[in-house]
Amino acid sequence: MGYKHLTFDKDTTFLVTGAAGFIGSNLCEAILDMGYKVVGLDNLSTGKKENLSDFSDNPLFSFIEGDIRDLDTCMKVCEGIDYVLHQAAWGSVPRSLEHPLLYEEINIKGTLNMLEAARQNKVKRFVYASSSSVYGDEPTLPKKEGREGNLLSPYAVTKRVNEEYAKQYSMHYGLETVGLRYFNVFGKRQDPNGPYAAVIPKFIYKLLNDEQPVIYGDGEQSRDFTYVENAVEANLKACYTPNQVSGKTYNIAYGDRITLNQVYKLLNQQMKKFISPRYDSERLGDIKHSNANIKKSIEDLNYNPSWNFNKGLSYSVIHFKAYDSK
């Protein structure tokens, strides 16, 4: 169960890109707690320095403010690195529809720069964040690797291109790559603010402040919400498993689904609130249902997600209450 039993060579050094972001900061914290060195890279465009505050004074941690769009920066940060955990990207389907050129620059060119830098610095393995958005309009549930549909947003395009480039680097250059298709990851340090904030932290934040949240569509759209500790486990196990996984991509989820209406009802119960949501029109590019088949990740990565939705939601409420009281 979990990842804390995994052991790497004592001098192993991990590079986490997007280190000041939500998933990146959780990865940094977990690896440092295991006693390994971490180099964090972030340009702070969406990440926040405060996400690093719990471990910024750890002697095993070093932070570099820099941009993955700059190849020289990527080359520098990959020096002496054993494993790259590449989380740096701009998320949000709606925002990608507004800024497709920016998404091309950051998510595609930035990832290609990181792949090249990892190759030239002989990194042992390059693990990168992909997304369930690559399944597009493929209607079959649960979603299974190798059965993808038409892409529905520029964001989804960037993630699919990342997967193809990673496959090329594995095939032609010998760089071991593993792609992780995250399904709606949520948890501590996730930003609740702004027009592109994820739905769970936004719900919690609104309820904490006795405000009415917006649900886009009828609320019956369903998601395979995945607590962040499961994503951390997947990243570390993707570094640890034999090289037969190189060039492949894996669904990272809990393997269940719940509607937004059900999520909101549970939060009201947990937080003892009685606030009705406001419904608005559906957002462009959003898929109706998302649910992952995680058999391949269980078999190949020994992935065994131990945080179910209810447990993760309870911990998220505790975190955001503490965050809100500061």
- Cα distances (angstroms) measured from residue 241 to each of 55, 83, 228, 284, 303: 27, 13, 20, 38, 10
How does pLDDT run across 294-325, given as a tens digit for each residue? Answer: 999 999 999 999 999 999 999 999 988 887 65
pLDDT of residue 290: 87
Q: How far apart are CA 36 and CA 125, in angstroms?
A: 16
Q: What is the CA radius of gyration of the chain?
A: 19
Contact 27, 87 (CB under 8 A): yes
DSSP at 132: G
Q: How far is CA 144 from CA 61, 98, 166, 171, 317, in A?
A: 37, 29, 19, 22, 31
Q: What pLDDT sits at residue 212?
A: 93
Segment 122-160, tens digit of pLDDT? 999 999 999 999 999 999 999 999 999 999 999 999 999
The values of phi and psi at residue 279, to 5°, are -100, 140
- Integer Cα distance of 129 and 177 in angstroms: 11
User: Domains along the chain?
Assistant: 13-183+228-255+292-307 (3.40.50.720)
Which tokens go with 63? 């932070």
Percent of the chain with pLDDT over 70: 98
Q: What is the pLDDT of residue 271?
A: 92
